[in-house]
Amino acid sequence: MLFAADLLSANQGLVVWFSVVFLALLYLLRRFAWGPITSALTEREETIAGSLNRAEAALEESKRLQESNAQARRENEQQAQRLLREAREEAEQFREREVQRTREEINALRKQAQEDIARDKEKALQALRGEVADLAILAAEKVLQENLDGSRQRVLVDRFIDELSTQKHNQFPYQA
């Protein structure tokens, strides 16, 4: 037991050596273990913080790009609607121009037809006048050839007028 009692008794030299070894161990641990461990932990903490900052920046950039894309999409949709509206307006203007051009052509054709009809009518009237003049000359010849009395001249003129009327209807049935 003596040996056990020695272990429990305080030995000054042993306490000093334990203290020296303990302090040396603390120094070595601080120099070679705690310093690198804490600096590694600090470096790791800074790396994680930097990564978080970059991730937040990337998230903000992503949100900004998403908003920019949404704005570009809205602008493209507005431009497409504007182009469609312009195309519709242009098509409507083209249709109106074509309708107006067709109306003008119809009016020109109508005017030309009226002029042709008036010209043909004038030709027909000239031909009729010529025929009437020829018939009047023939009638005058007949009257002069036959020296008739008043009642016979009257009958001859009435017959001539009837012939003119009949001849007029046969040549120009569309006129009254």
User: Could you report the per-residue pLDDT of 55-113, keeping only the tens digit for each?
Assistant: 999 999 999 999 999 999 999 999 999 999 999 999 999 999 999 999 999 999 999 99
* pLDDT of 172 above 80: no
Letter string b/e over residues 140-157, b meaning 16 or more CB atoms within 10 A of that residue's CB: eeeeeeeeeeeeeeeeee
H-helix or E-strand containing 54? Answer: helix 35-145
Amino acid at 21: V
* Predicted TM-score of the model (pTM): 0.39
Please give the pLDDT value at position 57.
Answer: 94
> In the chain, what percentage of residues exceed pLDDT 70?
81
More confident residue, 97 or 122: 97
Please give the pLDDT value at position 176.
Answer: 44
Cα–Cα distance for residue pair 42/50, rounded to 1 Å: 12
How many Å is the Cα radius of gyration of the chain?
65
* pLDDT of 49 above 70: yes
More confident residue, 1 or 157: 157
Selection from 16, 35, 12, 36 nearest residue 24 by Cα: 16
* pLDDT of 24 above 80: yes
Could you tell me how far CA 48 lies from the centroid of its own chain?
Answer: 53
Selection from 138, 143, 137 nearest residue 156 by Cα: 143
86: left (phi over 0), alpha (psi -120 to 50) or beta: alpha
